[in-house]
Amino acid sequence: AQKITQTQPGMFVQEKEAVTLDCTYDTSDQSYGLFWYKQPSSGEMIFLIYQGSYDEQNATEGRYSLNFQKARKSANLVISASQLGDSAMYFCAMRVSGGYQKVTFGTGTKLQVIP
């Protein structure tokens, strides 16, 4: 079975600073994908970034980067130059090969950006 663990229920970061949101995963599959989603208070889940298990380089999308450490089974999200609009819930998720539509989500981290 697949499992995603996000150990930080809440985080604070000063505006313009960088922040790292932790995510560890557990799977026996060799092929899998890792996702991060952002959920503002409006409720919609917004896709941020994807990392494939065979990707050798860490994924980056604008101010978002994924610190992928395969041996440690961690996929931390790094947000650089935080903005007030980054305040939201952040969810780490995983999909394994074969179960390509079954995504397992973590419990989320609530990020608050302080002016």
Partner 1 sequence: ETGVTQTPRHLVMGMTNKKSLKCEQHLGHNAMYWYKQSAKKPLELMFVYNFKEQTENNSVPSRFSPECPNSSHLFLHLHTLQPEDSALYLCASSRITTSGDNEQFFGPGTRLTVL
- Closer residue to partner 1 in complex, CB, 50/64: 50
Position among 95, 109, 111, 113 found at the interface with partner 1 (CB under 8 A)? 95
- Closer residue to partner 1 in complex, CB, 14/97: 97
- Is 24 in a helix, a strand, or coil? strand
Quote the CA–CA distance of 100 and 15 in Å, as a whole number. 37
Quote the CA–CA distance of 110 and 39 in Å, as a whole number. 9
Query: Is 64 among the residues that bind partner 1 (CB under 8 A)?
Result: no
Q: Euclidean distance between the first and final Cα of the chain, in Å?
A: 41
Q: Write out the residues near partner 1 by the rule CB under 8 A.
A: 4, 31-33, 35, 37, 42-47, 50, 52, 91, 93, 95, 97, 100-108
